[in-house]
Chain A
Amino acid sequence: MDFSYSDEQRMLKDMVDRLVADQYTFEARESIRTSEAGFSAEVWQQFAELGLLGVPFSEAAGGFDGGGAELMVVSEGFGRGLVLEPYLSTVVLCGSLIDRLADETRRAELAEGIIGGETRYALASHEPDGGYDPHWVRTTARAEGDGFVLDGHKAVVVHGDSADRVIVIARSSGEIDSAEGLSAFIVEADADGVHRRGYETIDGHRAAEITLEAVHVDADALLGEVGGAGDALESALERGVVALCAEAAGAMEIACDLTLDYLKERKQFGVPIGSFQALQHRMVDMRMALEKVRSLTFWAACSLESDPAERRQRIAAAKVMVGKAGRLVAEEAIQLFGGMGMMEESAIAHYAKRIVMIDHYLGDRTWHMAALRETLTDTARAA
């Protein structure tokens, strides 16, 4: 058993931490957040130059060949700075789909575009009445001539407003909630029939509603086989969940640090409020919540290649804990800061918003609890 980072992982962590410390002071983040695009193209280029955009890709494809641990290291660092660039969408989610589904030539070509920072992607999977279910797909893909025609509506496509390309999950066959019959298509964001309504999210990111009206794509837009995207989609979303959990851990760490500093600085009744035992214990509860998230994130990140039952259980457990412990940390941080915790000008408010809202990406606590209940039934049956 070894919980320490390898030399390479340590270097990666140092690099991300340095980058975040240099580029993502709260003031810098505020100016990026309120800019037209909502992220910084310059920072994105820096990610490319430092090789961060290639972390999950194979060395053959020009990447770093990183696994769960590397994904965790990078995402945790981003969480500390509340980084806004579309890393989750482009590299983690779409990168993973491309890696799993595209043939060798196509994979190399598409990976190159991502790794070099030239092309940004968004994953259009979930739909308006499907909640957090990635298989609830009404969007249709119909073969026509040499290509396909896509029709449908995709909900809250994270970074879908600025992406150059969108990977659309569409149904070629199967029941409405079935993983069977799902196909993945690369669609140019400015293609005819693609309509985007972009907006800000409450935690400072950007997203879009995307409707596809008779969107014609060529045969090579299809990633993998017709109807064969189900497993790759599951794998991509699992990586996404691990990234979100690690990001939450990073953000929770800073929320705890900021609150602890405040408890030491803020004086009422002539003493620092941190001298009150009632508040000391609450700070301890926050730290324990952080440790639980760290532990389960670690476990999930190291289980990405485990057998399906174990993997699903650990990833769901981590996201459930983020929903639960994250809410505790965010709410307590605001409470201990008092009115200052509610101010848009306070960094802590932005950490609290991101931590709470991470529950609303790729399945909330209730959604993942349902997955855990299923694994429970399976285990009971096996026993």
Chain B
Amino acid sequence: MDIEYNAEERAFRDEVRAFLRDNLPADVAEKVKQYKRLTPEEMVHWHRVLGEKGWLAMHWPEEYGGPGWSPVQKHIFEEEAAEAGSPRLLPFGINMVAPVIIKFGTQAQKDYYLPRILRTDDWWAQGYSEPGAGSDLASLKTRAERQGDHYIVNGQKTWTTLGQHANMIFCLVRTDPTVKKQEGISFLLIDMNSPGVTVRPLITLDGEREVNEVFFDDVKVPVDNLVGEENKGWTCAKYLLTFERTGIAGVGISKAALAHLKTIARETVVRGTPLIEQPAFAERLAELEVELMAVEMTNLRVVAAAEAGGVPGAESSFLKIMGTEVRQKISDLYREAAGPYALPFIDESEPAVGPEFANVAAPTYFNLRKLSIFGGSNEIQKNIISKAILGL
């Protein structure tokens, strides 16, 4: 048993660190660490930097442009990138639609879309959830009817993350309403500039526009944009849900968040004493540290199993629950650290009221409630664990 990285893995970590030091814009990293909003340009820029280096599509097979990393190397990269304050990669193109295209797409689809994704030519969005289809995704109603060499799409998707910037969306649509609900679904790629597509903002409780509703009104989609077979879209959806989820715990993100919180706790002096020297606060920080250590080592155990050839299955549900819970708890303590100055609700463009970090604390806390809701709610993850691991 050895819980340390070997020499080769350490060398790889040094290479990643050096790359991040030389290529990650310092102002962007600072914004990420302070929970500040990035512009679409800043996000795209980072994707392109990684794309040029060949590190963007780390889960892809090498023949399509993946870097050929082992599970441990992927883990090291994700963790180092998060700790350094790299912008979060938009998963919709690289980690969601691309694996489906690689597995189920035609040669023409691969030749067209994959290089575009590697170059970040398109901004992809996900069209899964609908107002009536959340946890029960298969009950989706958006309808696609075949007319000659087109589908005519009608319906509504919701919770479309950053859909306001997207030009492409992959959707689960119903192509056969007469069969069992999982069997009449297809996986369709839709150009968001097509006539009949409307994107409407949904404002979240922290005042942000992060999610949208997308409406389809007689949208014409070429039959060539169908991925996989008609009515076999549920297979694509399920494949996607099990695809490479070792990064789902977000350990690097939590480590960066906890490090930031410690800096704040050292710098924030209340009643003459830094927060970090106040026993009640220090104890809660230490408790979080323990929680995070547990998630980190659990994550490493799953990574090691993957390295040995195992395929992470329901274990990724453990990681999703543990990882999101610890991130939410860190944001809760962050809010507490702000004290009364958690109250002012100040736009980032205005000067802060009280300490610089404080005004972002409560919005961040509320925003991160989403972590236990999206990507398969934590309740759904528990159902998976009950069934797949416990056999209940």
Contacts and interface: CB of A to CB of B under 8 A. Distances in A.
B353 A202 contact: no
A302 interface: no
A155 B341 contact: yes
B195 interface: no
Contact of B134 (A200, A205, A268, A364): A268
B345 A339 contact: no
Given A278-B379, A369-B280, A132 B129 contact: no
Contacts of A360: 338-340, 342-343, 362
Interface string A147-177: 0000000011000000000000000000011
B131 to A, nearest CB: 9
Contacts of A298: none
Interface string B166-202: 0000000000000000000000000000000000001
Contacts of A361: 340, 343
Contact of B205 (A126, A209, A343): A343
B139 A268 contact: yes
B203 A199 contact: no
Interface string B318-329: 000000000000
A202 B343 contact: yes
Nearest to A201: B343
B136 A269 contact: yes
Contacts of A77: none
A105 to B, nearest CB: 35
A66 interface: no
Task: Report which residue of A156, A197, A203 has the largest number of chain B beta carbons within 10 angstroms of its beta carbon.
Answer: A156
Given A129-B270, A207-B343, A370-B280, A342 B134 contact: no
Contacts of A268: 134-136, 139
A199 B344 contact: yes
Contacts of B270: 129-131
B305 interface: no
Contacts of A203: 343
B77 interface: no
Contact of A366 (B271, B336, B363): B336
A94 interface: no
Contact of B202 (A201, A338, A343): A343
A14 interface: no
Interface in A44-62: none
Given A268-B135, A331-B369, A339-B374, A129 B269 contact: yes
- Candidate in B339, B354, B365 with the most chain A CB atoms within 10 angstroms: B339
Contacts of A205: 343
A361 to B, nearest CB: 8
Contact of A343 (B132, B134, B204, B343): B204
Nearest to B367: A342
Contact of B362 (A128, A357, A369): A357
Nearest to B377: A338
- The binding surface of chain B is classed by DSSP as mixed
B381 to A, nearest CB: 12
A307 interface: no
A203 B366 CA distance: 11
Interface residues on A, range: 35 or more
B369 A334 contact: yes
A178 interface: no
Nearest to A135: B271
Contacts, number: 132
Contacts of B272: 129, 176
B344 A201 contact: yes
Nearest to B345: A202
Contacts of B158: 339
Interface stretch (A80-88, A215-223, A345-353): A345-353
Contacts of B346: 199
A199 B344 CA distance: 7
Interface in A331-381: 331, 334-335, 338-339, 341-346, 349-350, 352-353, 356-357, 360-361, 364, 366, 369-370
Nearest to B383: A278
B343 A339 contact: no
Contacts of A310: none
Given A357-B362, A369-B280, A129 B342 contact: no
B115 interface: no
A103 B269 CA distance: 39
A339 B270 CA distance: 36
Contact of B379 (A201, A209, A279, A345): A279
Contacts of B203: 343-345
B204 A342 contact: yes
Contacts of A128: 341, 354
B150 interface: no
B134 A132 contact: no
A133 B271 contact: yes
B127 to A, nearest CB: 15
A353 B366 contact: yes
A173 to B, nearest CB: 19
A205 B134 CA distance: 33
A366 B280 contact: yes
B365 to A, nearest CB: 8
A345 B203 CA distance: 8
Contacts of B338: 360
Given A202-B362, A268-B139, A342-B373, 10 more contacts: A129-B269, A129-B271, A133-B271, A197-B353, A199-B353, A202-B206, A334-B369, A339-B370, A342-B366, A370-B280
7 contacts: A128-B341, A130-B271, A199-B344, A338-B134, A342-B370, A343-B202, A344-B205
Interface of B: 129, 132, 134-136, 139, 158-159, 202-207, 211, 269-272, 280-281, 332, 336, 338-346, 353-354, 362-363, 365-366, 369-370, 372-374, 377-379, 382
Interface of A: 126, 128-133, 136, 155-156, 176-177, 197, 199-203, 205, 207, 209, 267-270, 278-279, 327, 331, 334-335, 338-339, 341-346, 349-350, 352-353, 356-357, 360-361, 364, 366, 369-370
Closest 4 CB pairs of A and B: A268-B136, A349-B205, A131-B270, A202-B345
